[in-house]
Chain A
Amino acid sequence: MISFSYLEPADIDEALAALARYGEEAKVLAGGTGLVNLLKQRLVQPTYLIGLRRLAGLKKLSYDGTLRIGALCTQRTLETSALVQDHVPLLAETCRQVATVRIRTMATLGGALAHADPNQDPPPALIVLDARVRVRSPQQEREVSVDAFFTGYYETILAPDELITEVIIPPLPAGSGTAFVKFLPQTHDDYATVAVATRITLDGDRIAEARVALGAAAATPLRATAVEDALRSQVPTPTVLREAAALVADAVDPTADFRGSVAYKRDMAVVFVQRALAQATARAQAGGGTA
């Protein structure tokens, strides 16, 4: 293990001051499930580690039509919270499928964003929910859509002095159904060969709006706008869903590994987008939600 100095700010102002002072020399520690492995492998070698666990203000979860999730809420909290299950079931459904209960107990939602590993499950779900990330530096506070948050492999729009404070999920439009499906040919706690989050919002018998986002399909979580565009104003017949799903083949840019070749992952992206669309459509037709 590399050497570093561990700082543990008592509140967000102290944390932001430490980030402003040490910037590029520092890494922020939330649950540690991503970062500690990178430290052990010397893939990151910060001089300072800024531990956030005393920032109680970032552990809040509230709902008033909009769901506000403190950046330090764990994925286990989101999986088990009645508030999340009732109002944003897609997020609970997604977090339940993350790795193992040990990882979900430690890993935070803010961490899943900042870490920016494209194999993670929560980001595609947040994208189809039109979620926004609230980010603070000592000078300013800003909100960025999760869709625009990721810029490259393990890279985000975060400046060295910025901290994620909150994830905001607006109310879903009426007539919406959502689904998250994950293809796991190896083990249940593995990263996906491909993961798909979708939302179908119906207006009568036609699709008013669709969202499709994938994990493990490119250098960043990937929004498949070509599929979304093809679905708009259509009646969601199996043929329409199949033909729209086929368009994802040109959008994905997967990496070959033991979970599949590039060609296989491309094919599976099509299959699993189609399945996710069918599930979300059925749920929208049944009255929405994920149930």
Chain B
Amino acid sequence: MRTLQLRVNGEPVAREIPDNRLLVDFLRYDLGLTGTKEGCSVGVCGACTVLLDGQPVSSCIALAVMADGCEVTTIEGLAEDDRLHPLQRAFIEYGGFQCGICTPGQIMAAKALLDVNPHPSKEEIQGWMMGNLCRCTGYYKIIESIQAAAEGKGVS
């Protein structure tokens, strides 16, 4: 056991955890932040994508201890004062999801992209989002949603 001290969605958090806790389990079960989903459990599908010090990571293959002293951002941290993040609004407006289970990971990956490249080309979006799988809709609407958010279209 050890005490983990970090910031989650801007708030300081201190929690005692076993050494072998996975980051996804820490977020979901210890902190109750169930917006982050676990899909494949081997770092391939992207459902569990969160930002660790601003960088996208698979929380299912990260140990919670690797986030000690860091800033973790999850889907719950995007809205400000109940106002949805432009990416969240764009995914709603442009139908960027169907069943929704991959959506938190899609949006966190897209946020990481727009943070380093605010106006990506379609090819850059496709290349970056390639590792976030969706089994419902196909990817056109997801890419359209990200393009719309980047262009500030219809998401005001």
Chain A residues close to B by CB (< 8 Å): 1-6, 8, 29, 32-33, 36-37, 39-40, 49, 51, 53, 76, 99-103, 105-106, 187-189
Instruction: Check if B128 sits within 8 Å of A36, measured CB to CB.
Output: no
Q: Which residues of A contact B114 (CB under 8 A)?
A: none
Complex Cα distance A76/B113, Å?
13
> Chain B: which residue is nearest A5 at the CB level?
B19
Instruction: Check if A101 sits within 8 Å of B42, measured CB to CB.
Output: no
Residue from A2, A4, A36 in contact with B61 in the complex, judged by beta carbons closer than 8 Å: A36
Residue from A4, A36, A105 in contact with B56 in the complex, judged by beta carbons closer than 8 Å: A105
B14 to chain A minimum Cβ distance, whole angstroms, is 17
Does residue B131 face the partner (Cβ distance < 8 Å to A)?
yes
Given contact pairs A76-B55, A106-B61, a sample of 18 additional A-B residue pairs in the complex whose CB atoms are under 8 Å apart: A1-B22, A4-B19, A5-B19, A6-B63, A6-B65, A8-B68, A29-B63, A29-B66, A32-B61, A33-B43, A39-B20, A49-B63, A102-B49, A102-B57, A103-B43, A103-B58, A105-B56, A106-B57
Complex Cα distance A54/B61, Å?
19
Q: Which residues of B contact A53 (CB under 8 A)?
A: 66
B67 to chain A minimum Cβ distance, whole angstroms, is 10
Q: Which residues of B contact A37 (CB under 8 A)?
A: 42-43, 61
Residue from A2, A5, A8, A36 in contact with B62 in the complex, judged by beta carbons closer than 8 Å: A36
Q: Which residues of A contact B131 (CB under 8 A)?
A: 99-103, 189
Q: Which residues of B contact A189 (CB under 8 A)?
A: 44, 130-131
Q: Which residues of B contact A8 (CB under 8 A)?
A: 65, 68
Residue from B44, B57, B65, B130 in contact with A105 in the complex, judged by beta carbons closer than 8 Å: B57
> Chain B: which residue is nearest A74 at the CB level?
B55
> Chain A: which residue is nearest B112 at the CB level?
A101
Does residue B86 face the partner (Cβ distance < 8 Å to A)?
no
> Chain A: which residue is nearest B62 at the CB level?
A32
Complex Cα distance A29/B46, Å?
22
Q: What's the tally of chain B residues with a CB closer than 8 Å to chain A?
A: 26
Q: Which residues of B contact A102 (CB under 8 A)?
A: 43, 46, 49, 56-58, 109, 131
Q: Which residues of A contact B65 (CB under 8 A)?
A: 6, 8, 51
Which residues in chain B, 10-47, are within 8 Å of chain A measured between CB atoms? Answer: 18-20, 22, 41-44, 46
Q: Which residues of A contact B55 (CB under 8 A)?
A: 76, 105
B113 to chain A minimum Cβ distance, whole angstroms, is 8
Q: Which residues of B contact A36 (CB under 8 A)?
A: 22, 43, 61-63
Q: Which residues of B contact A100 (CB under 8 A)?
A: 46, 130-131
Instruction: Check if A101 sits within 8 Å of B56, measured CB to CB.
Output: yes
Instruction: Check if A101 sits within 8 Å of B128, measured CB to CB.
Output: yes
Does residue B2 face the partner (Cβ distance < 8 Å to A)?
yes
B90 to chain A minimum Cβ distance, whole angstroms, is 20
Q: Which residue of B46, B63, B68, B130 has the most chain A CB atoms within 10 A of its CB atom? A: B63
> Chain A: which residue is nearest B48 at the CB level?
A102
The 6 A-B residue pairs whose C-beta atoms are closest, nearest first, are A100-B131, A6-B19, A36-B61, A105-B55, A1-B20, A189-B131
Q: Which residues of B contact A103 (CB under 8 A)?
A: 43, 58, 131
B5 to chain A minimum Cβ distance, whole angstroms, is 13
A75 to chain B minimum Cβ distance, whole angstroms, is 12
Complex Cα distance A103/B61, Å?
10
